[in-house]
Structure 1
Amino acid sequence: MSHIEIKSSDEIRLMRAAGLVVAKGLEAMCGAAAVGVTTRELDAIGREILAANGATSSFLGYGAEYGTPFPGVACISVNDELVHGIPGERVLADGDVVSIDFGAIVKGWHADAARTIIVGTPDPADVALIEATRQAFWAGARTTHEGSRVGDVSKAIEGYVKSLPVRYGTLREYTGHGIGTEMHMSPDVPNWYRPRPTPRLRPGMAIAIEPMLTTGTHQTLELDDDWTVVSRDGSRGSHWENTVAVTPGGAWVLTEPDGGASLLGANFAPLAD
């Protein structure tokens, strides 16, 4: 546990402030996604939300030390682009499945979340895919409490996905993660279960839980831009993520406006709001 960051209650509240900025940004960008809009225009909305709320971006410039810095404040991935899509001149079309991943920093503390939506006319298969991803997140979040382990979160996500009548691919190369003074920290939070020792959750920990599903297999490719991850078989994908804090009484979803009250049940335990 020594390498996992444990936050004070005041630090978790600062992460909540960042989480509410993320929630505002995602609501605004998802609401603006329409036929004829470019992904760059959506990213510009995210920049406006950050500036208006005194926050900075978790994403902009990320990865510079490894080569190509990320050029946007949001990852915007369309159809077979699963994660890390670079916003640009792509024009959204009717029926597109769009995943928007957004992060904010307030006073040095990060929050990170993602949503997937459909532009224009929805295909029932895409609706089912997105709902499966959303519910997989909540299955993991309801397992996030003092005394449980990271592996329990992974097992809950995998168990939910496997219980569905439709078979989906679960991305394996990309996982959830710890979060706090950095966007990506220990521990990793896989979306599939492996029977091995994993860290026990305790109050003050914060993790980003983020199921990523496809209508095909879990296999992926990274494009030459060094960022965009696509499905190897061309299948569409969905991404649903929230930053979740472990509190003495349960969990607090820092990037949901209601903190998770409506879907966590007895596991909902905010510190303050």
Structure 2
Amino acid sequence: MSGNPIIYKPYEWERLRIASQFNAKLMDHLRPFVKPGVTTDEINEVVHEYTVSHGHVPATLGYMGYPKSCCISINEVVCHGIPDETVLKEGDIVNVDITSIVGGWYGDQSETFLVGEVSEDARKLVQVTFDSLFLAINTIRPSSSVVEIGEAIYGYATGLGYGVVRQYQGHGIGREFHTDPGIPHYPTSASERDILLPGMCFTIEPMLNAGTWKTVEDRSDGWTVRTKDNKLSAQFEHTILMTEDGPEILTLTKEGPQPGHQF
């Protein structure tokens, strides 16, 4: 984090929009490749080639030593899954998390895909995670406290029996990948003090687990995070710009699930 939250000037908002809209186009571009029989490395190659061919930079590649151009997290993997030779199979749920640097500005989002026909339990987890993101977005307004995001997600998800991951959170974004404020997806006393003002840009990215909220990091690679009980996990993420009129979702895709979508 870089210290105090950054409030971007109105003339900078278009830079945020351009980076985020490219990222959304990238998500739509990779969408057809998330299917049974495809390896996560192949999806990573699609992300890398599309980004570089447009003159932009995949933000995760080399970030704190991370070796790939996106994160792909399957089933019980909560986040930061490293693409490899793993083959997607019918019934998997898989989160693809992509971040692009466009002219020095960052766009960031993730989406959980259903691979073929999935179990009803998996489908419901994905639905509730998706709904919790938009519930939080629809809750906030200029001068909202960050804690309102956590209250909305936590209250909704735990009421349906899901665990809300606490170790990882949303974040400010713009000229840097991660800045203040942190955006926890459960209520904290610290987030009560953080106020969302017009010009602030940040991500909301709830991670919900079918069982416990607790997670374990894989010590063998230092990145992959799994649920402690090996039950399923899902995540959705958007980059949000707070304007005088309320939150603007910068990373909406044209072909992906829209607010109110039913999986």
TM-score normalised per structure 1: 0.88
Matched pairs, number? 254
Contact 1:21 1:53 in 2 (8 A): no
Would you say 1:170 and 2:171 are equivalent positions?
no
Q: How many Å separate the matches in 2 of 1:257 and 1:114?
A: 11
Taking the TM superposition and a 5 Å limit, the aligned residue runs for 1:48-197 are 48-63=49-64, 69-164=65-160, 167-196=161-190, 197=192
Question: Cα deviation per residue 1:9-49 (whole Å; 9 max; x = unaligned)?
Answer: 23221111111121122222232111110000001111122
Question: Cα deviation per residue 1:240-263 (whole Å; 9 max; x = unaligned)?
Answer: 0000000111111111137xxx74
Contact 1:180 1:206 in 2 (8 A): yes
Would you say 1:212 and 2:207 are equivalent positions?
yes
SS of residue matched to 1:28: helix
The amino acid that maps onto 2:38 is: V
Q: How many Å separate the matches in 1 of 2:56 and 2:19?
A: 7
Contact 1:207 1:243 in 2 (8 A): yes
Q: How many Å separate the matches in 2 of 1:195 and 1:184?
A: 21
Report the identity percentage: 34
Question: Cα deviation per residue 1:153-203 (whole Å; 9 max; x = unaligned)?
Answer: 111111221343xx1111100011111111111111011112453211111
Q: How many Å separate the matches in 2 of 1:18 and 1:98?
A: 24
Q: How many Å separate the matches in 2 of 1:29 and 1:168?
A: 29
SS of residue matched to 1:192: coil
Q: What is residue 13 of structure 1 aligned with on the other side?
A: 14
Q: What is residue 268 of structure 1 aligned with on the other side?
A: none
Q: Report runs of 4+ in structure 1 exceeding 4 Å deviation.
A: none
87-96 or 238-247, larger mean C-alpha shift: 87-96
RMSD: 1.7
Question: Cα deviation per residue 1:54-81 (whole Å; 9 max; x = unaligned)?
Answer: 3211111111xxxxx1111110011111
Q: What is residue 254 of structure 1 aligned with on the other side?
A: 250
Runs of 5+ in structure 1 lacking a partner?
64-68, 265-273
